[in-house]
Amino acid sequence: MPDEPKNNQNQKNQPPGDQKPDNKIPVSAWVWWALLLILLLWNVMVFWPMLGSEPASAEIPYSVFVQQVEQGNVKQVEIQGDRIQGEFEKAIPWTPENPTGFLGLAKTEATPQATPTTSSNQASTTIHAFKTTYPAVVGDAELMALLKAHDVEIQVKPPANPVWVSLLVQWLPLLLFFVLLGWMANRGMMGQAGGMFSFGKARARKYVGEATGVTFDDVAGAEEAKRDLMEVVDFLRNPQKYHEIGARIPRGVLLVGPPGTGKTLLAKAVAGEADVPFFSISASEFVEMFVGVGASRVRDLFAQAKAEAPSIIFIDELDAVGRRRGAGLGAVNDEREQTLNQLLVEMDGFDASEEVIVLAATNRPDVLDPALLRPGRFDRQVTVGLPDFQGRLGILKIHTRHLKLADDVDLEIIAAATPGFSGADLANLCNEAALIAARNNRKVVIMDDFYEAQDKIILGGARTLLLSEEDRKVIAYHEGGHTIVAWFTREADPVIKVTIIPRGRALGVTEQLPAKDQYNLSKSYLLARLAVMLGGRTAEEVVFNEITTGAENDLVEATKLARRMVTRWGMSELGLVAFQTDEEQPFLGYELATGRDYSEATAARIDKAIQSLLDDRHRYATQLIHQHRDKLDALAQALLERETIDAAELEKILGPRPEGARHTPAIPGSEGIPASVSG
pLDDT exceeds 90 at position 635: yes
DSSP state of 7: T
- Mean pLDDT, range 310-326, rounded to an integer: 83
Report residue 183's pLDDT band, with 50, 70 and 90 as the boundaries: low
Given this model, what pLDDT does residue 90 score? 84
List C-alpha distances in Å: 447 to 602, 614, 674: 53, 40, 17
Greatest mean pLDDT range, 19-33, 54-68, 662-676: 54-68
Contact 678, 508 (CB under 8 A): no
% of the chain surpassing 90 pLDDT? 21
The pTM of this model reads 0.63
Lowest mean pLDDT among 216-225, 334-343, 381-390: 334-343
Report residue 561's pLDDT band, with 50, 70 and 90 as the boundaries: very high
pLDDT exceeds 60 at position 640: yes
Residues in the chain: 679
β-bridge partners, 159: none
Of 46 and 236, more confident: 236
At 449-495, the pLDDT tens digits run: 998 898 888 877 777 777 888 999 999 999 999 999 999 998 898 88
Nearest to 216 by CA among 234, 196, 191, 243: 234
- Mean pLDDT, range 578-597, rounded to an integer: 57
β-bridge partners, 156: 79
- The one-letter amino acid at 301: L
Given this model, what pLDDT does residue 31 score? 63
Lowest mean pLDDT among 3-7, 278-282, 287-291, 604-608: 3-7
Q: How far is CA 459 from the centre of its chain?
A: 26
3-state secondary structure 560-580: HHHHHHHHCCCCCCCCCCCCC
Lowest mean pLDDT among 77-81, 95-99, 176-180: 95-99
Q: Which one from 355, 479, 511, 540 is the annotated catalytic residue?
A: 479
Contact 477, 545 (CB under 8 A): no
The DSSP string of 98-136 is STTS--S--SS---TT------TT---EEEEEEEEE--T
Greatest mean pLDDT range, 239-248, 328-337, 444-453, 663-672: 444-453
- List all residues 6 or more positions away from 143 whose beta carbon is below 8 Å from its beta carbon: 134
Cα-flanking dihedrals φ and ψ of residue 33, to 5°? -70, -35
Nearest to 512 by CA among 661, 634, 664, 665: 664
Greatest mean pLDDT range, 108-112, 277-281, 396-400: 396-400
Query: CA angle, 488 as apex, 487 and 494 as ends, to 5°?
Result: 30
Tell me how many helices (H) and strands (E) the chain has.
23, 15
At 507-549, the pLDDT tens digits run: 888 888 876 777 788 999 999 999 999 999 999 999 999 999 8
Given this model, what pLDDT does residue 671 score? 36
Of 591 and 229, more confident: 229
Contact 361, 317 (CB under 8 A): yes
SS3 content of the chain, % helix, strand, coil (to 5): 50, 15, 40
Cα-flanking dihedrals φ and ψ of residue 255, to 5°? -90, 120
- Mean pLDDT, range 382-408, rounded to an integer: 90
At 642-658, the pLDDT tens digits run: 988 988 899 999 998 88
| 327 half-sphere exposure, CB direction, 13 A CA radius | 17
The DSSP string of 404-440 is -B-TT--HHHHHHT-TT--HHHHHHHHHHHHHHHHHT
List C-alpha distances in Å: 299 to 195, 204, 280, 292, 329: 17, 12, 15, 11, 28
- Helix (H) or strand (E) holding 315, with range, is strand 311-316
Report residue 623's pLDDT band, with 50, 70 and 90 as the boundaries: very high
- Mean pLDDT, range 151-166, rounded to an integer: 73
- Mean pLDDT, range 408-429, rounded to an integer: 89
The DSSP string of 141-175 is HHHHHHHHHTT-EEEEE-----HHHHHHHHHHHHH
% of the chain surpassing 70 pLDDT? 71
How far the first Cα of the chain sits from its last, in Å, is 68
Handedness of CA 437, 439, 441, 443 (dihedral sign): positive
Given this model, what pLDDT does residue 204 score? 60
Report residue 617's pLDDT band, with 50, 70 and 90 as the boundaries: very high
- The one-letter amino acid at 347: M
Whether the link from the prior residue into 21 is cis, omega within 30° of 0, is no
pLDDT exceeds 50 at position 331: no
Query: CA angle, 237 as apex, 234 and 238 as ends, to 5°?
Result: 80
Rg (CA), the chain: 44
Sheet holding 644-646, edge to edge: 644-646, 495-499, 509-512, 676-678
- Mean pLDDT, range 661-677, rounded to an integer: 47
Contact 478, 540 (CB under 8 A): yes
Mean of per-residue pLDDT scores for the chain:
76
Contact 251, 377 (CB under 8 A): yes
pLDDT exceeds 80 at position 279: yes
Of 651 and 238, more confident: 651
Residues 337 and 345: their CA atoms lie apart, in Å, by: 12
Residues 408 and 406: their CA atoms lie apart, in Å, by: 5
Report residue 358's pLDDT band, with 50, 70 and 90 as the boundaries: confident
Given this model, what pLDDT does residue 476 score? 93
- Mean pLDDT, range 578-587, rounded to an integer: 58
Classify residue 44 as exposed, middle or buried by CB count within 10 Å of its CB (0-12, 13-18, 19+): exposed
Report residue 604's pLDDT band, with 50, 70 and 90 as the boundaries: very high
Complete domains list, the chain, with CATH: 58-151 (no CATH), 205-383 (3.40.50.300), 389-459 (1.10.8.60), 469-678 (1.20.58.760)
β-bridge partners, 273: none
Is 479 designated active site? yes
Contact 215, 272 (CB under 8 A): yes
Given this model, what pLDDT does residue 670 score? 36
- Mean pLDDT, range 39-62, rounded to an integer: 63
Contact 536, 478 (CB under 8 A): yes
pLDDT exceeds 80 at position 60: yes
- List all residues 6 or more positions away from 117 whose beta carbon is below 8 Å from its beta carbon: 103, 104
Given this model, what pLDDT does residue 419 score? 84
Task: List own/partner pairs for 17-24 with CB under 8 A and 24 or more apart.
Answer: 19/208
Given this model, what pLDDT does residue 479 score? 93
